[in-house]
Amino acid sequence: MARASYIKALIAGLPDDHKRAISGAFEYVLDNFRWGRPEHAERCENGQQYYFEAATASVANGEFQILHGLAAPPYLLVPVLPLDVEGAEIVPLQVTRPADAERIYLSSPVADAIIRVMVEA
């Protein structure tokens, strides 16, 4: 994430009214950037992360897929642990093959676990 001091250094030579407007806009974005509480297959409140829920395969280490529907193959997946869901857990995940334009391919040694992830494409 950018630092406010870097932005201020970049706009230092601008007229004061421009500096105030630009600085205020960046401070607002930097102070309020968050993932939010997206629902399944929705974009996060800010950024280019998308939230997905899925279940691991019914057999340990079996491949399961997440249909993502994004415009490009995702390149990053981050497990998410919701703190308002009793019993929620993060289980080990392994990429079984590279994500493509439609799906993410994973496996886990834990069968039938509900997982929640943020994906970036």
pLDDT tens for 44-98 read: 877 778 999 999 999 999 999 999 999 899 999 999 999 999 999 999 999 999 9
Residue 1 has pLDDT above 60, yes or no: no
Burial class of 121 by CB neighbour count within 10 A (0 to 12, 13 to 18, 19+): middle
- pLDDT at 2 > cutoff 80: no
Residues whose CB falls within 8 Å of the CB of residue 23, separated by 6 or more in sequence, listed in order: 4, 7, 8, 11
Backbone angles phi, psi at 30, to 5 degrees: -65, -35
In the chain, domain spans: 1-33, 42-120
Query: Mean per-residue pLDDT for 32-55?
Result: 83
